[in-house]
Amino acid sequence: MELKFSQEDLEFKKEVRQFFENKLPADIKDRCERGLVIPKEMQVRWQKILFDQGWMAPNWPVDEGGTGWSLTQKYIFAQEAAAACAPPPMPFGVNMIGPVLIKYGTEAQQQKHLPNILNSDTWWCQGYSEPGSGSDLASLKTKAVKDGNDYVINGQKIWTSYAQYADMMFCLVRTDPDAKKQEGISFLLIDMNTPGIEVKPIIGLDLNHTLNEVFFTDVRVPIENLVGEENSGWTYAKSLLEHERSFIARVANSKQLLVRLKQIASTQRIGDNLLINNPDFRRKLTAVEIDLMALEYSELRFLAKQMDGGQLGPEPSIMKLEGSQIQQRLKKLLVESLGMYALPFDADARADESDYLAMGPEHAHGILDQHFYGRSATLVGGTSEVQKNVISRLLMKR
């Protein structure tokens, strides 16, 4: 057992830290630190800086544009990125569809899409969920029927994050209505500019527009946009969900929230004292800090297990479950830290229209946006209830 960075790791850490210090634009850092939605322009600007540095896709193979970092180096990078308040790359391209194409895509698909994912010229969205198919994703109904060289798509997706910006969607469709539900699903790449696609906004609790409904009416998608084999889409989709789950603990991000919470509590007055000295507040802060520490050591332990070639079972689900709860507790404590100034909320989207930004402490701006959106942490990527089902099913099987 060993829990020390090597000399090279420490050098690497310095290099990474310096990169963020020098290259992360201040306007982007500010929004990220506040937990506000990052507009597309900022997101792309930042991802292109990462690309220029060669650091856009640490998880890809070196040949495809990956960094060749060790797991420890990837861990260091994630820590430093979050500590610097750098927005993580949009996951749909680089973390989700990229690895699927690398593993299952045709040569032509890889050549066409991977470079544009790396340099962020193409914005992707994830078309999985449907009105009738959320937790029970495999029941999805959006239909694809072969007609000549195309699939013709009819149906609806929902909760499609950032579809309003997207150039491409990776999408699950039903190609065999008669097969067992997991076995009639195919995985398609769809150009969002194809006629017959309509994107309608859904406004969230945070009053922002990140969610959408996407309607398909006789949308023609060339057969060459099928990933892997027809009716095997569920396998690819699951490989991607597992990827999503193991990254969703967001330890590094929670550590940054904790830093911010302490900063704010150290300026927030409570009579002639500071909130950070209030024993009730401190006890809650400490409790979540300790839980976060356990989460982090678990992440390290599970990473090490993978490095040694071990197979993971319920661990990713445990990380998702614990990690999402810790995120929500931290965001709630940020709200609590504001006292009565937690009440005003005109949402970032409308803030300019009222005196909201002129009221209360400067750091209050963004905390409620982040808190409300953060309620989804226990829903996306498999809800907490579903994670518990997965975990207990795996345990009972043993």
Partner 1 sequence: MDFKYSQEQTMLKDVVDRFVADNYSAEQRATLANTELGHSDSHWQTFADMGLLALPFAEALGGMEGSAVDVALVMESFGKGLVLEPYIPTVILAGGLISTLGNDQQQASLLGNIMAGKMKAAFGYCEPQSRFNPADVETSASPAGSGYILNGHKSIVWHGPSANKIIVSARTSGTPRSKEGISLFILDPNAEGVTRLNTRTADGQGASDLLLENVQIDADDLLGEEGKAYPAIERALQAAISAVSAEAVGAMEATNEITREYLKIRQQFGTALSNFQSLQHRTAEMYSEVEMSRSMSEALAMRLRDSDNDNNNDSHIGDEDTLPAQTTAATKVRIGKAATFIGENSVQLHGGIGMTNEYVIGHYYKRLMMIDILFGDQDYHSRQYEQLIYG
Ligand X SMILES: Cc1cc2nc3c(=O)[nH]c(=O)nc-3n(C[C@H](O)[C@H](O)[C@H](O)COP(=O)(O)OP(=O)(O)OC[C@H]3O[C@@H](n4cnc5c(N)ncnc54)[C@H](O)[C@@H]3O)c2cc1C
Residues that bind ligand X (CB under 6 A): 126-129, 134-135, 159-161, 211, 376, 379-380, 383, 385-386, 389
Q: Is the CB of residue 284 less than 8 Å from the CB of residue 291? A: no
Residue with smaller CB distance to ligand X, 275 or 318: 318
Minimum Å gap between C-beta 352 and partner 1 is 12
Tracing tokens 């798509």 back to the chain, one arrives at 153
Pick from partner 1, ligand X, none: which does 359 bind, CB < 5 to 8 A by kind?
partner 1
Residues 266-285 that bind partner 1 (CB under 8 A): 269-272, 275, 278, 280-281
Q: Is 379 in the site for partner 1 (CB under 8 A)?
A: yes
Q: Candidates 105-113, 134-142, 168-176, 190-198: pick the segment binding partner 1 (CB under 8 A).
A: 134-142
Are 100 and 239 in contact by the 8 Å Cβ rule? The answer is yes
Q: Which helix (H) or strand (E) holds 107?
A: helix 107-118
Sites for partner 1 among residues 231-270 (CB under 8 A): 269-270
Residue 53 corresponds to which tokens in the numbers above? 């540095």
Closest to partner 1 by CB, 190 or 367: 367
Chain centroid offset of residue 42 CA = 17
Find the Cα–Cα–Cα–Cα dihedral 397, 304, 306, 135, rounded to 10°: 60
As a whole number of angstroms, the distance between CA 217 and CA 194 comes to 10
Element (H, E) at 397: helix 384-397
- Closest CB 381 distance from partner 1, rounded Å: 12
> Which CB atom, from 226 or from 275, has the smaller least distance to partner 1?
275
Measured from the CB atom, is 290 or 343 closer to partner 1? 343
Residues 393 and 371: their CA atoms lie apart, in Å, by 31
Extract the tokens encoding 263.
Answer: 């900063």
Alpha-carbon dihedral sign for residues 124, 244, 136, 332: negative
Placement of tokens 């979050």 in the chain:
82
Residue 58 or residue 91: which is nearer to ligand X going by CB? 91
Question: CB-wise, 58 or 382, nearer to ligand X?
Answer: 382
Q: Which does 160 bind (CB under 5 to 8 A by kind): partner 1, ligand X, none?
A: ligand X
Site for partner 1 in 155-184 (CB under 8 A): 158-159
Q: Which of residues 316-375 bind partner 1 (CB under 8 A)?
A: 336, 339-346, 354-356, 358-361, 368, 372, 375
